[in-house]
Structure 1
Amino acid sequence: MSTPESNRVALVTGGSGGIGRVVAERLARDGFAVAVQYAGNRAKAEETVAAINAVGGRALAVGGDVADEDAMGTAFDTVRSAFGGIDVVVNTAGIMILAPVETLDLADLDRMHRTNIRGTFVVNQQAARTVRSGGAVVNFSTSVVRTQLPTYGAYGAYVASKAAVEAMTLVLARELRGRDITVNAVAPGPTATPLFLQGKDEGTVDKFAKATPLERLGRPEDIAETVAFLAGPARWINGQVLYANGGLA
């Protein structure tokens, strides 16, 4: 039997800023107690927690490297001790380093894949061990996995890491057969976060916006709505990748 909405608990990795923060705040509005995971910026995580608590929600911050199994084990234990269990795990944590395959520094490849692949695996492993019946796991991929725009020529290593996330998602959904836990991934398109906008001139941003039939960039709120759907009412969607990109081809 599913846990009542008012007693549900979500852990959001990378929840201190960008899409992760908006996801944490969105789930809190749905009645979730929310754990905001951060890697290095505790102050920003505490800001997210304070914003949730200020409007009557329940939140706490938990630190640790998502690729460190001991740190994540401690984080999951902390959340369970504080809130009584975990129902939803949303793994937004990830890094993106752009360079053509020909010139990418292999140290950057290792660093990115450590967070995006190993980190997703560690978080999913902990989720598989702890998420309660009726719960959900939501991973993060990228629409660049399937887009064919020529401007994405430097995304090879990043796309490879996210393709691994998608494969992991589909397999874990099947591994959790019989436990009433869904596992899906969200694949955002270009989204107006500070990280995305950094270093781009107005013309470049406009090209990204016009690439979608809706002719705008995504907003973090658009992505958070998709996560909230998968974390709540979307019980018949499982083992899928949802492309939240405004129709980007």
Structure 2
Amino acid sequence: MPSDTSSTRSAHDEGNALDRRGLMLILSSPSGAGKTTISRMLLEHDPHIRNSVSCTTRAPRPGEVDGRDYHFVSQDQFDRMAEDGEFLEWAHVFGKSYGTPKAQVKAGLKAGQDYIFDIDWQGTQQLYQKLERDVVRIFLLPPSIEELRRRLTGRGTDSAEIIAARMERARSEISHWDGYDYVVVNDDIEACFAKVKQILASERLRRARQTGLIGFVRGLMEPDDELG
């Protein structure tokens, strides 16, 4: 924990950039509603947030790098990690397993690192139960079910059967919208991105997250020697 003196000094030397605890920004949505796109935009435009690298049992997609996009592991290895309690959250999705490693995220939060999570409502519940004070939950809604179907079909990567399964799952996921702190309708990607950035900026300013405030305020309250 930083000393009062160091907190005061950093506030003056870095334009009042007080020490703070990091946060976990969760973006959830049905497939096709924009969470992956918004996540990528945040990572490109905000140097203070980092992608939470999950473990997964699915095979790498073209261009994905082990350790950057995911930690690609076998099902046996994943099951051992889950049994040993190494995940903050984990789930099975479409026959594959996904999990968030615990140690790296906890250390980063303490050091003031923000993380972004592209996970479903089940993973969100698990994270919130374990690290409630660090979690900011945003759910992205499509403007309509018809538009969601159009986006999924327009990808050209899934069969009709897979699209039908995703649409069925989408209705189930949408039913959990009220378990989130913020809900944003993604009818325009740039407008949606602007709203998510505004939420992130506000959450970073929460008093409870600004761990350097105590030392900084104490410094402001010290007697001014120049006034005698």
TM-score, normalisation: structure 1 = 0.33
Q: Which protein shows a greater Rg?
A: 2
RCO comparison, higher one (Cα < 8 Å, 6+)? 2
